[in-house]
Amino acid sequence: MWSIRLILLVSLGTLNTVFARVPSRIWNDCGNPESPVHLTQFAISPNPVYLPGDILFSASGYTNETLGSSSLHLSIVREGSWFNVPIPCFRKIGSCTYDEMCTMLDDMINENWLGITRTFGQDIRQMLINNGLNPGLCPQPPQVINIVRNPLRVPKMPAALYWFAEGVYRINVRVTDNQNGGRELVCFNVRLNIKQSECSGFWGCLF
C-alpha cells in the first residue's frame, strides 16, 4: 500500500532504528490541507525503543485520490547541545531521496541495504497484507488505512552507520508526485529518540 508504506518506510524502514521517546504527539503535519494523503494517527511503543528491539506500531490515515509513481524525500538531523548535525545519505539509509515509491519496499528486500533491510522489509510487507492492504499494487485507489499495535522487530545497526548514535533526531518527510509536475502529496515531521541496547562499533559506544 503506497501511503502506509510511506509512513512505515520513513519511521521504520529507511531509518530502521529511530523511535520516539517524546510524550504524547511525536509528529506534526507540515503539508497542504488540500494534499491527497492524510496521516491522522502515528504511535510507537514502548518508549524509548532499544536497538535491536521489539515495538508495537500504529498508524491511521487515508488517501482521497488514486496515487501512482512518486518520490520520497527524507531530511534528518541529530539534535545537539550547541548545534544540530545533518545526517548524510549512505547507501540508501539516512537523508536520502528515493525516486520510486512503487518499488521501494521490493528494493529494500531484494537489495538488502547495508544488510539490515531485507527481513525488516519482509515484516512490513506481511503487516500490510495482514491489514488488508496490497503492497504490490501501483497505482493505488483511494482508501483508508488503520494499523493498530502491530508487532515489529527492529534490527541491530551495523557499524557503518556510526552516525546513528543515541540521541534525538528530527526527520522531515516529503512525498512528491512523479507524474504531475512534482506536486507535494504529503509532508510531516517526526521527532524521535534512539536508545541502543548495546554498543554498535567504536563511534556508537562514544555516544
Q: Which residues of 138-160 are buried (b: 16+ CB within 10 A; e: fewer)?
A: bebeebebebeebebebbebbee
What is the residue extent of each domain of the chain?
Answer: 2-206
Query: pLDDT of 95-110, one tens digit each?
Result: 999 999 999 999 999 9
Query: pLDDT of 40-63, one tens digit each?
Result: 988 877 777 678 888 888 889 999
| Fold held by 2-206 | Ganglioside M2 Activator Protein; Chain: A, (2.70.220)
Q: Which residues of the chain have pLDDT under 70?
A: 1-25, 49, 162-164, 198-207
With beta carbons less than 8 A apart as the criterion, state whether 44 and 19 touch: yes
Largest CA distance in the chain: 48
The pTM of this model reads 0.84
Q: Please give the sequence-ordered ranges of beta strands (E in DSSP) within 20-125, or none if there are none.
A: 27-29, 37-45, 50-51, 53-63, 70-78, 85-86, 89-90, 93-94, 97-98
